[in-house]
Amino acid sequence: MHTKTIAEIIEGLRNKQFSSEELTKAYLDRIKQHDKTLNSFITVDADVALKNARDADKKIADGNAESLTGIPIAQKDIFCTQGIKTTCGSKMLDNFIAPYNATTVQKFNDVGAVLAGKTNMDEFAMGSSNETSFYGAVKNPWDTNAVPGGSSGGSAASVAARLVPAATGTDTGGSIRQPAALCGITGLKPTYGRVSRYGMIAFASSLDQGGPMTQTAEDAAIMLNVMAGFDQRDSTSVNKPVPDYTSTLEDSVKGLKIGLPKEYFGEGLDPAVGDAVQVAIKEYEKMGATVQEISLPNTHFAVPTYYVIAPAECSSNLSRFDGVRFGHRCDNPKDLMDLYTRSRSEGFGEEVKRRIMIGAYALSAGYYDAYYLKAQKIRQLISNDFKQAFEKVDVIMGPTAPDVAFNIGERTEDPVTMYLSDIYTIAVNLAGLPGISIPAGFAKDRPVGLQIIGNYFEEARLLNVSHQYQKVTDWHRRVPKGFE
Amino acid sequence: MALDRTDVEKIAHLARLATEESELPGYADDLSNILKLVEQMDAADTANVEPMAHPLDMAQRLREDEVTEENQREHFQNIAPQVESGLYLVPKVIE
């Protein structure tokens, strides 16, 4: 049962092959059985999940079922869930029970989805390996010596190991796509503004975007149908109609113009990953797509630019954690300054502190022009690169990450080496474009992801293009050994 | 730009973070390395380029000035570290 996709589960529930309660119990059992090894969940509330399931079964019996009614979905622990702990992977929020639901969580509740649990993540979504979590590293189900990627590492690992049919993630610099690639699943980062950020704990507000993490593109389309849409409560939410993302999945890719940025296939790319990606692109040519080389000349500035903008925004966003209204407070503060500094220093981990300090420095008097303003100007150049590329091509393809999953502990000593894990994903966030990673084979026995980047609000095309590939390949149906 | 211990102490103060003496050299190294990465930006020609603050070209939305949220003070203060008579308590600020 656990290898079924959402689309297949919907079928099974509709035909009464199983109830939501049976389904939910089966997944909860799997979590119990396997998550000691993987550590992909921070919180699992079986009582809530089973209650959701029974409510869903009633809804189904009454003939009121909607797309995801009765289907267990895991939420990244960055989405606020009323009454259930929301930690964001941090000691700072170890005691935090959100007083309201994130819009995304509410939308899943409204259609009767089952909350399977809250997934582990890098602390405040700052990391590319899920090693910065206060709750410990997550293991990659393909090889438990390897990281699952990050920051949505728990979501990626749990979906890859089939502990849940699907999960949510968030992507600020690659945090959906990179773990999806490293764990061999499908992960979509929508256009900035497409999915509400309300109740999604903020890291870098001009970059953060929530999205689905699933086995297949079809499932991602079903999930996005629920997640996307205008939200009055998010000031940067876009008021634009949401198409039915499942309705265009079967469109042909004949004549599709694919651009391959030469900068994504050069130095720094592991040759075995490059080979797998080239083989995937050949599949598209077989289906009638055309391929041309393009250039995104400012690609090499993306990581440096990101490490000004993201820390600057994070230092501002995370100033709300002051030990006064919620979250961790130090014992016996001697004065207000001591309360602030000690609560923050005890509550935040090393990587979060580094980024807050970089941001505070970049925004401090005398440095603004050299860092933040300069970064914003380069952000414009990077965005222009994409604009020009999309005048020539329909989609851009390349590797999601420069290498397959690395080993736990291998890159923790040097933050900068870790940052380079996101060289192909970060520019997409800076521009605000949608991007997807889909499984495209293996290198060194670990999964490889193919990244497909689309123009603004072209999620439907990305899902269509991904689905067509998944019809002629079976990488997305591979299950890691020990989890079959 | 390479940062030294004094720089780190200053930045930590701006960020309201307490740093132990023993942590300063580590932070100085890490932050200097990150800044070295960031300074690769210097090679970009950004003359006459408009800064981009936001990915979407949009104006701030306005709405009617209506009450949309109810007061939920007790609900929100349930998760506060210390409250008294509806107020958040902090150490004494004024003597």
Element counts in chain A: helices (H) and strands (E): 15, 11
Contacts of A301 (CB under 8 A, 6+ apart): A378, A381, A382, B40, B41, B43, B44
Whole-angstrom CA distances from A110 to A28, A90, A247 are 22, 28, 22
Quick one: tokens of A48?
A: 């809530």
- A67-98 residue pLDDT tens: 999 999 999 999 999 999 999 999 999 999 99
**CB-based contact B72 A308, cutoff 8 Å:** no
Per-residue pLDDT, A144? 98
List, for residues A409-438, the tens digit of each pLDDT value.
999 988 998 999 899 999 999 999 999 999
pLDDT of residue B68: 87
Distances (CA, A) of A154 to A78, A447, B9: 11, 16, 35
Are B46 and A381 an interchain contact pair (Cβ–Cβ within 8 Å)? yes
Q: What residue ranges do the domains of chain A occupy?
A: 6-256+394-477, 300-374
Place of tokens 């979501």: A155
CB-CB contact of A460 with A245 (8 Å): yes
A192 vs B contacts (CB less than 8 Å) = 55-56
Cα separation of A366 and A362, whole Å? 9
C-alpha A116, offset from chain centre? 17
Q: What are phi and psi of A155, to 5 degrees?
A: -65, -45
Q: A43 in helix, strand or coil?
A: strand
B77, B78, B79, B81: CA torsion to nearest 10 = 70
Q: Is A151 a catalytic residue?
A: yes
Give the residue among A152, A138, A137, A228 at the shortest CA–CA distance from A186. A152
Name the amino acid, one letter, at A36.
Answer: K
Give A27's contacts (C-beta < 8 A, 6+ positions apart). Answer: A2, A72, A116, A163, A164, A165
pLDDT of residue A270: 97
Instruction: Point out the residue among B8, B35, B55 whose CB comes nearest to the CB of A431.
Output: B55
Query: For chain B, what are the domain ranges?
Result: 5-42
Q: Which residue, chain included where needed, has tokens 């634009």? A: A240
Closest CA to A354 of A132, A67, A41: A132
ipTM: 0.95
Question: pLDDT grade, residue A267 (50/70/90)?
Answer: confident
Q: Residues A76, A107, A118, A189: which is the catalytic one?
A: A76
What is the DSSP code (8-state) at residue A396?
Answer: E
Q: Cβ–Cβ of B88/A324 closer than 8 Å? A: yes
The helix or strand, by DSSP H or E, that contains position A3, with its residue range, turns out to be: none
Q: Please give the residue of chain A at the shortest CA–CA distance from B3.
A: A361
Q: Choose the mutation target among B17, B29, B82 for the interface with A, i.e. most A CBs under 10 Å.
A: B17
Measure A240 CA to nearest chain B CA, in Å.
Answer: 12
| Contact indicator for A399, A424 with CB cutoff of 8 Å | yes
| pLDDT tens string A182-237 | 999 999 999 999 999 999 999 999 999 999 999 999 999 999 999 999 999 999 99
pLDDT in tens, A294-342: 999 999 999 999 999 999 999 999 999 999 999 999 999 999 999 999 9
> Model confidence over A364-420: pLDDT tens digits?
999 999 999 999 999 999 999 999 999 999 999 999 999 999 999 999 988 998 999
Q: Which of residues 27-56 of B touch A (CB under 8 A)?
A: 27, 30-31, 33-44, 46, 49-56
Which chain A residues are Cβ-neighbours of B81 within 8 angstroms?
323-324, 326-327, 329
Q: In A, which residues are within 8 Å of B40 by CB distance? A: 300-301, 304
Identify the three-state secondary structure at position A443.
Answer: strand
* Both structure tokens of B3: 């940062």
- Residues A382-393 as b/e (b if ≥16 CB within 10 A, e otherwise) read bbbbbeebbeeb
**% pLDDT > 70, chain A:** 100
Q: What share of chain A is helix, strand, coil (3-state, %, to 5)?
A: 40, 15, 40
Given this model, what pLDDT does residue A257 score? 98
Residues 6+ apart with CB under 8 A from A436: A177, A186, A187, A188, A189, A217, A220, A451, A452, A454, A462, A463, A466
Q: Provide the pLDDT for residue A255.
A: 98
- Which listed CATH number (1.25.40, 1.10.287, 1.10.20, 3.40.50) goes with B5-42? 1.10.20
- The per-residue pLDDT for B63 is 86
Best of A357, A385, A387 to mutate (most B CBs within 10 Å, chain B)? A357
User: Using CB atoms, which residue from B31, B37, B80 is nearest to A325?
Assistant: B80
Q: Looking at residue B79, what is its pLDDT? A: 95
pLDDT at B57: 79
Whole-number Å distance between alpha carbons of A160 and B53: 36
Q: Of the candidates A192, A170, A189, which has an alpha carbon nearest to the alpha carbon of residue A238?
A: A192
The pLDDT of residue A231 is: 97
Q: What is the mean pLDDT of residues A439-454?
A: 98
Cβ contact, residue pair A381, B61, below 8 Å: no
Find the angle CA(A130)-CA(A133)-CA(A138) to the nearest 5 degrees. 45
In terms of Cα–Cα distance, which of A442, A441, A435, A443 is closest to A465?
A: A435
CA torsion through residues A216, A210, A155, A199, sign: negative
Chain A to chain B, count of Cβ pairs less than 8 Å apart?
167
* pLDDT band with cut points at 50, 70 and 90 for residue A132: very high
Assigned CATH for A6-256+394-477: 3.90.1300.10
Tell me the residue type at A277: V
Residues B38-89 have pLDDT tens digits of 999 999 999 999 999 888 877 888 889 999 889 999 999 999 999 999 999 9
Name the residue type at position B52.
M
Contacts of A270 (CB under 8 A, 6+ apart): A402, A403, A404, A443
Pairwise CB contact (< 8 Å): A298 & B81:
no
